[in-house]
Amino acid sequence: MALVDQSLPYVRAISPYQPGKPIAELAREQGVDERHIIKLASNENPRGMSPRARAAMERALGDLERYPDGNGFALKAALAERHGVGVDQIALGNGSNDLLELVARVFLAPGRSAVFSRHAFAVYPLATLAAGGECIEVPARDYGHDLDAMAAAIGADTRIVFVANPNNPTGTHIPPEALHAFLARVPADVLVVLDEAYHEYLPPELRGETVGWLRQFPNLLVSRTFSKIYGMAGLRIGYALAAAEVVDLINRVRQPFNVNSLAQAAALGALEDHGFVAESYAMNRAGMEQLVMGLKRLGLGHLPSQANFVTFKVGNGVAVNARLLAQGVIVRPIASYGMPEWLRVTVGTEPENARFLAALEKAL
């Protein structure tokens, strides 16, 4: 018997996550200058990172021979003050993906299940399968979460429910009152992981007091990231807010130094730069309007989005994506999400959005 046959069968069943195509990879494939390529595939902030975050990171460069603070004391203190929670209610991760996987390691195993929606973030089934758990995928409603169906799908062996709000890759949003009512229906021994990676892109009136709900629902975990509006995707840092008992369990399975020194320093600087976040939010709203108007002009349907991307229907997603790549424009095919006729484009700068729309018209 081959060595790989001795591996865990539920690990062999996993289809690896496919990230957005890197600019350098397309440049090699097409034989073109990287400067002529735009990437609107991975929901990154086109403005880059906050100047304060960059300056804080640069100040930390002189101490890289030492291990990072494994407890993230300074960053946790700043986050605790920001959100009005205890320091013991915060877990740091190597991106919010890390935290999703850590939660799965804590609560899932063979004989246990996790519930999530169809067309939701690909890491939910990956994390579930890697822990040996069973995936319960609930059919979507209008490409978003059907909370009634998800509540009904919770079984005696269910230990986690994953909810993305806004959802990736569809951009759909659950109103706060509907989400609160759902939490009240979930059994107290089932953890609800509320993935709010795109929370800062929501209009203020749609955000809700999700962190405040932790006092009412000890089985709630809220995950956030510095990868999106803060523009720090390459540094890999996110955090979770939950009951202290849940955070204690996460800390038992995480790597001792899972968040590096530069990421911690940059995150502290980013939290102080309220102007950068406000400007990024405004730019995103304007860019979203530009893209939606362009898609309508081309006669293409799209899903209303509350994030920093928009998903649109082209018919043959593979063919249209290939024609965009040939023009040096990278967007995201989402056939792996059960949406082969759709593509997802990140909101870029005004010139990037215009170039994308021109390339899309040609690709059609």
| Predicted pLDDT at 170 | 98
Give the lowest-confidence range in 4-13, 160-169, 191-200, 271-280: 4-13
Q: How far apart are the first and last CA of the chain?
A: 50
Q: Say what the pTM is.
A: 0.95
Q: Residues 158-171: pLDDT tens digits?
A: 999 999 999 999 99
Q: With 90 as the cut, is the pLDDT of residue 193 above it?
A: yes
Q: With 80 as the cut, is the pLDDT of residue 112 above it?
A: yes
Strand-pair category, 113-117 with 158-164: parallel
Average pLDDT (51-77) is 96
Average pLDDT (228-233) is 98
Q: With 80 as the cut, is the pLDDT of residue 1 above it?
A: no
Query: What is the residue-averaged pLDDT of the chain?
Result: 96
| Predicted pLDDT at 9 | 87
If you write DSSP's letter for every residue of 123-147 in order, what string do you get?
HHHHHHHHTTPEEEEEPPBTTB--H
Output Rg (C-alpha) for the chain, integer angstroms: 20
| Predicted pLDDT at 87 | 98
Distance, CA of 364 to CA of 357 (rounded, Å): 11
Encoded amino acid at 239, one letter = Y
Q: Residues 296-345: pLDDT tens digits?
A: 999 999 999 999 999 999 999 999 999 999 999 999 999 999 999 999 99
Per cent of the chain over pLDDT 90 is 93
- On whether the CB atoms of residues 169 and 196 are closer than 8 A, the answer is no
- On whether the CB atoms of residues 165 and 192 are closer than 8 A, the answer is no
| Predicted pLDDT at 227 | 97
Per cent of the chain over pLDDT 70 is 100
Q: Residues 138-164: pLDDT tens digits?
A: 999 999 999 999 999 999 999 999 999
Spatial strand order of the sheet with 309-313 comes to: 302-303, 309-313, 342-346, 332-333
Q: With 90 as the cut, is the pLDDT of residue 351 above it?
A: yes
Distance, CA of 204 to CA of 348 (rounded, Å): 22
- On whether the CB atoms of residues 99 and 196 are closer than 8 A, the answer is no
Average pLDDT (22-46) is 92
Q: What number of other Cβ atoms are within 10 A of residue 3's Cβ? A: 6
- On whether the CB atoms of residues 324 and 330 are closer than 8 A, the answer is yes
Distance, CA of 29 to CA of 26 (rounded, Å): 5
